[in-house]
Structure 1
Amino acid sequence: MNQASNTSKIKYTNDSRNVKEIEKKIFFNFFQGKSRLAIVSHLDPDGDAMASLSAMTFFCEKQNIFSQIFQFNKPPFPEYNYWNISIDNIDNLCLNKFDGIIFVDTPSLKRAGFKDNFEVLIPSISIDHHIDNKYFTNFSLIYPSFCATAEIIFELLRESLDYDLPLDKKIMEALLMGILFDTYYFQTENVDAILLERASFLESKTNSIHILKNILFKNQTPQIYSFWGKILLNTSLYFNKQVVVAKADDLLYSEFEKKDKNFSRDFASEGFINHLMNLRNVEIAIFIRELTDVYKVSIRSSIKIASRLANRFGGGGHENAAAFRIDKKTFLSIDELENSIINTISEIWGEKKEK
């Protein structure tokens, strides 16, 4: 297949749990004739984003292609960058120094942290599982039914991997890490037999599942648990206890920052929302964080509502996990934002708020 021009768009949205041969062909053809590739994921890169970035870096190395990762910011936990891949800031991305750019696990340029006037003027491809992908690249390979972008990349590469090569083992370790993170160690609603087979296969080749689990999830401190305890004191239940909202405002963050100069708002908040979903009867969990200029809101759900809710506030994600950021000037207080979220859930459900 000939390389698409900078303005042409070839879109593939595959709602099945398998990758088609034509999609594999598009993926591999993209690398033909390339010598320098930029790789980008979403801002606040999580375990799946970092795993996908790492796997694509190793794949480029295997193809003798120079690659460089550009990100809006670094991951909340440095352990997510298990392989110590070099990460540059997206402000330093100069497109004319590359002959292609790969976007992984990000549905839009905005979600990647680019400014509104940024244009992708070189050949580009997107590999993603967000249902709200904006199809902003020349080639878009979108799989909303996949549990993680790392799972997509594994299926694209599966037949080409040489399981005896050390570099390919690193690729498989990275992909297993992404799957573990985005399923919260196989606890999310979208885990199925297909996903478990793929993860089992990767584990059989790498023997690294327990190491990766500890990297991803065994990273809390007593102080963080103390912080979480304070948040739990400020939770509210709605809709007959089916919806829980937790908040961490600036005063709470400041209290812990005064106690420990190494306290990080990002580190302390990571993973908390997943515990809210363990509450009895809860179907939707909302975690609102007050940062310097924005409110950052994470959403988890056992029903297919998370992305719809996030979309109403300019965010996005998946049916069971989504997020959005909103300027603090939009709402007078964190409580006003909470009320707006609950009213929006009420509109989506067609119910009255009940607390």
Structure 2
Amino acid sequence: MHTFDPVNFRGQFEFFLQNPGWVYLDNAATMHKPRAVVSAVNDFYQRSNSNVHRGAHNLSQHATRLFEQARDDIAAFINAKERQQIIFCSGATAALNQIAYGLMHTVLQPGDRVLITALEHHANIVPWHLHCVRFGVQLDVVPLTNDYQVDQTAFAQLLEKKPKVVSFSHVSNVLGHVQPVAEMVQLAKNAGAITVIDGAQGIVHEKLDVQALDADFYVWSSHKLYGPTGTGVLYGKTALLEQLTPIYGGGEMISEVQFSHSLFNILPFRLEAGTPDIAGVIGMAAAVNWLQKFNIDEIKEYKAMLLKQFFSGLSQIPGLDILSSPVHNAGIVTLNVQGEHPADVAELLSQQAVAVRGGQHCAMPLFNQLKLAGAVRFSFAPYNTEADVATSLHALTQAVEILTA
């Protein structure tokens, strides 16, 4: 029996008070923000607005303390060994681009291999494309099993090709399937590979301990963790962060500039060029501090209960092709109505005030393999309720009846 209180949790989000008629099931795209986050952002702009790090006045020094305290809070949240291992960026996409660019100019050499999986978001495909062809690096892809899980046998076989980098998602943003991350990281490390984890969906699913996981890089976006949009984290082991060639140059990331040369600053500043999203970072820290008031295991249990009810209800609706598995699922269900375009299904749900996403979910290669135009994605959060499940199932039933009439 779960002890998580969804009413109390939901009550901390102003959105639901202002929009009581909506069932919001597009959480994999972005999550709503609790009052603690909104207040932290507003308070900075209203009371402390100033630039950070090099201002001589007290306002700047205070803003710097807030900004760097956020780094400490986030380092503690994921159990990073050192605070400089937390690099602020605009989100997981920016972080993955920095890693791909930075490694391609230092660690990766012509003839090396990079290994990803068939489940990846475009952000973990395109950055490698941008550099692999140009520098003669081979991109290999782990296929899926018949139930759309990463084929672990094929993964082990592809590791025998000795990839220099292995990069994969913690949780599939399309299907919600949770990868056996710890096991995959260990296998990749045994093969001598640098490990990169796209944690955009994983960071909110379970408590992250980066020292225990031992991945070399782990990235996520703040807005997938109740924080503001436009900011995120690139976590990396210090020695590897120091090997990354910065993707951006200028401002805080240098220690000396001459017309003939530039010298990079120390971590974390060497990878944080330009004025950061100060309010966003402060809001992100507010989100993780707020979230730690709740028991993550109880939240997982509650979401699993919602997911079980949803899958049970789906079994009563004819004409559905369900792509997601209820096993090892972080709270995302992707499906299609047979013979119908996912955009039409999503629109009919929207007309009934149920917010979902229809399309290819930034995973075009996956849907090309599945020979599908896309799918409708329902993604659950702890502020969703059993009533939300019932309403969304009723709305989907209505949509199916309209489309198949």
Normalised by the length of structure 2, the TM-score is 0.31
Normalised by the length of structure 1, the TM-score is 0.35
Greater relative contact order (Cα < 8 A, sep 6+): 2
The structure number with the bigger radius of gyration is 2
